[in-house]
Amino acid sequence: MAEVAGHIGPLIGPKTVVLPAMNGVPWWFCEGMQGVLGDSRLQSIDPDGSIIAAIPLRHVIGCVVHASARIIEPGLAEHHNGQGLMIGECDGRDTARVRNLAGLLTHAGFDVTVSSHIRRDLWYKLWGNLTINPISALTGATTDRILDDPLLRTFCSAAMGEVAAVGEHIGCGVEQSAEERHGVTRKLGAFKSSMLQDVESGKPLELDMIVGAVREIGQRVGVPTPNIDILYGLTRLFARARGLYPP
């Protein structure tokens, strides 16, 4: 992401809007939360501050994607289902640029929701995919097989409880049980997570954005994350052995 940001920075003008449609915790997530987290920069995401320097928060509109797709080849994506986009100012304000962007995206065929708490919406999605993504990468299993295994389902619920506990400390509470979320995910049927697709394509894993950042935030607010720690360590070692994560 730091390398990509370096190329995006020179393209940004005074009124340019950047809509990062990405999984996990984005680089801007903790900006303005120093009273809760101390240093706003996450070491797991932007250790040297190069991303936030290249793409300042004032240009960012937050985005949560609810869609399933896969890359067939460079420049060609296959859409499976869903066209949901949640967008919103990082500080929750109702602004003309968000409304204008929502209109453009709706005209393009997306199902757009304007959010007044985009951080909480990002955290909610993360609460659901923090476990499924790395477990699918480790096992090669589709989501239905993961959730149909009682041992893995119990593990997912425990790790999701840790994500929810961290969220409570940063104003991103989750008003749903893990079992309720499992039911929603299970109805989607058999699909490969984005992280499993990356493993199969030999691409670097989004491990720090999806797992490492939650672990780091948990440490800052004093919430233990033993299950997340284990999942992070296992997946990190798995990815390093395949050249998909930095040594």
Catalytic site positions = 125
User: What stretches of 62-201 show up as alpha helix (H) in DSSP?
Assistant: 96-107, 118-139, 143-148, 150-169, 178-186, 194-201
Q: Report the C-alpha gap between 7 and 245 in whole angstroms.
A: 22
**Cα distances (Å, whole numbers) of residue 247 to 46, 90, 133, 207:** 17, 33, 21, 13
The two three-digit tokens of residue 125, written as one number: 């999605």
CA angle in degrees (0–180, nearest 5) for 1-25-9: 35
Provide the 10 A C-beta neighbour count for residue 11: 10
Three-state DSSP class for residue 228: helix
Following CA atoms 127, 207, 65, 216 in sequence, which dihedral angle do they give, to the nearest 10 degrees? 50
Distance of CA 164 to the CA centre of its chain: 15
φ, ψ dihedrals at 212, nearest 5° = -60, -40
Judge contact between 231 and 157, C-beta under 8 A: no
Q: What is the DSSP string of 135-165?
A: HHHHH---HHHHHHSHHHHHHHHHHHHHHHH
